[in-house]
Amino acid sequence: MKVLFVCRVLCARALGSLIRLEQNGFEVTVAYSKSNQHIFNASNVEYFDGTQPDLIRVVNEVKPVIVHVHNTPDRPTMWIRQFFNGCICHDVHDFSADPGMLKICCRVADYVYCVNDDMAKSLSHSISNRPVQTYHTVPPRERGKAKKLSDIDGKTHVVFIGGFHHADNAERDCEILSKWFEDIGVKLHVHCHTFRETVKKYENEFFQLEDVINYFDIPERLSVYDAGMCLPFDGKKEHLVFNYTYMLPSKLFDYLQAGIPVICDQKYLTMSDYIARHGLGKTYETFDISVVDSAVKMKVTDYPYKTILDVEPYKRLIKTRRKKNDF
């Protein structure tokens, strides 16, 4: 059964859902318009130039039963609905794009997916004629069980994985993290895939750039650390990371699948609430050594999540659209 993913870049959320679908017998092709490190983990890829005519070409070549669009941008869902009679899923990673276009695309899709339940409730009010479901992106491997670095050298080791957001943010975040961890004398290992030169600029004994980890190796590689660090916040409202404030980002589940507690600023409301409610790490108002000490004492044995697609809604959706359109 053929599925076409449409995305600007193949992010960790899209890659995780792709893998889950392939494990359940779906054949997934990724139509992307910008390359990144995750695209090399996809079996079938098609580059398109970000325009509707080129997307039409890809859809006609792949001949999918389902097209699954990952925002942002949202517009490809509207483009595809104009010529495609099959099933369309619109996957809302965040609310950062034009809200009007987002609502239109959710309404013309057959199914809508969200990052968390609060997003799903919000969208359900404005698109009451479409089913909305939450799923989280969890690395597809078993929980990590590697030997801790702290068991070897007796020191605490914290990790940051993922990307920094934009050049100005990366400069600010690296400066903050470098100073914070130098001040408390704890080493932060940075496995980032963006702005690596910026990280190097702020490297010191306690702020260290590491390699980029392959998606499949995340649980095992991260399990050597004692805790996972989320992006810092400098107290200025305009510097709050939107996805951290209202979403549950992929790196949260990267840390949890590795079995390590998470450290998060309380200003990131959705994520800090999830962490505190389920005892999955330490949230803070002011970062200091006591935050890290409290976090590393916590044990992450289990955590609540919803994985991609139950796959059953996908299958029910296919049957419904086939009945309607006889394709």
For the segment 127-152, what is each residue's pLDDT rounded down to a tens digit?
Answer: 766 778 888 877 766 777 899 999 99
CATH 3.40.50.2000 occupies which residues in the chain?
Answer: 2-137+307-325, 149-296
Residue 261 confidence class, pLDDT cut points 50, 70, 90: very high
Superfamily of domain 149-296: Glycogen Phosphorylase B; (3.40.50.2000)
Nearest C-alpha neighbor of 196 from the set 239, 160, 249: 160
Q: Look up residue 174 and give its two tokens.
A: 């690296």
3-class DSSP state of 121: helix
List CB contacts of 78: < 8 A, sequence separation 6 or more. Answer: 101, 104, 105, 108
Angle of helix 250-257 relative to helix 12-23, nearest 10 degrees? 60
Fold of 2-137+307-325: Rossmann fold (3.40.50)
Residue 319 confidence class, pLDDT cut points 50, 70, 90: low
Q: What is the pTM of this model?
A: 0.84
Higher-pLDDT residue of 263, 315: 263
3-class DSSP state of 82: coil
Q: Look up residue 162 and give its two tokens.
A: 């993922």
CB–CB of 95/72 below 8 Å?
A: no
Span 228-239, pLDDT tens digits: 999 887 767 666
